[in-house]
Amino acid sequence: MNNVETSNKSSMIGVAARISLVMIVLCGLIYPMVSTGIAQLIFPQQANGSMVKDGEGKVVGSELIGQTFTNPAFFQGRVSSIENNGAGSGSMNYAPSNPELVKRIQESMVAWEAANPDVPLEKLPIDLVTNSGSGLDPDISPASATAQIPRISNLTGLDQAELQKLVNNHTKERDLGIFGDPRVNVLLLNLALGEMIK
């Protein structure tokens, strides 16, 4: 190898190293800092995880991640095969004919009948016994919230009409009128319910 070829190779390696260094600084430091700064200025609530605080200012969860409510006097969210663990997302991608899925749904239906004797299985919305794709869905359909009203009314003494008004007030319609479905955030709904039964 002659001196010209060696010089060309050294020059190319130097250019590649400088480009790599510039790209690391640009993409690894400057871009994330600028985008994070803009997000904090324009959408601070969303940029910080859409955290929800109770009446005392204590963080109790996120609007974006479902929670498991064990107290039957509160609204229940969707089934989660990952226990609503926000460290990861995903669920068993079972086909409708899979025996494990059928078994889990049947168990959920038995639990529903035991906890909600006033609401027949025919009125049980499907999203209360099925998992979302992420296993972290924080929302239920308005029908799912309404189906739980008789149980909650019996346990809290609150009037069913009052509870229905609470559900209606917490129902978000389709985004821009066309995207998604009407939904109710279970955490926000339960926080409001908790204020009513204090």
What are the residues whose beta carbons fall under 8 Å from the beta carbon of 86, sequence distance 6 or more?
Answer: 62, 65, 136
Name the residue among 137, 196, 129 with its Cα closest to residue 169: 196
Q: What is the pLDDT, as a whole number, of residue 140? A: 95
pLDDT of residue 189: 96
Beta-bridged to residue 52, according to DSSP, are 61
**Which token pair is 113?**
């009948």
Structure tokens at 120: 């027949």
Task: Note the pLDDT of residue 105.
Answer: 87
Token output for 194 = 């908790």
Reduce the DSSP state of residue 24 to 3 states and report it: helix
Per-residue pLDDT 10s for the chain (198 aa) are 555 566 677 788 888 889 999 999 999 999 999 999 998 899 888 888 888 888 788 888 889 988 989 899 999 999 887 777 777 777 777 888 889 888 988 988 999 999 999 888 888 999 998 888 787 889 999 999 999 999 999 999 999 999 999 999 999 999 888 898 999 999 999 999 999 987
DSSP state for residue 77 in the 8-state scheme: -
Which of these, 161, 159, 165, lies nearest to 192 by C-alpha position?
165
Residues 178, 170: contact at Cβ < 8 Å?
no
Please state, in angstroms and as integers, the Cα–Cα distance from residue 74 to each residue in 48, 57, 188, 192, following that order.
27, 21, 11, 10
* Identity of the amino acid at 109: M
Give the per-residue pLDDT at 97: 85
Beta pairing partners, 185: 139
Residue-level pLDDT at 23: 94
Per-residue model confidence (pLDDT) at position 4: 57
Q: Residue 194's pLDDT is what?
A: 92
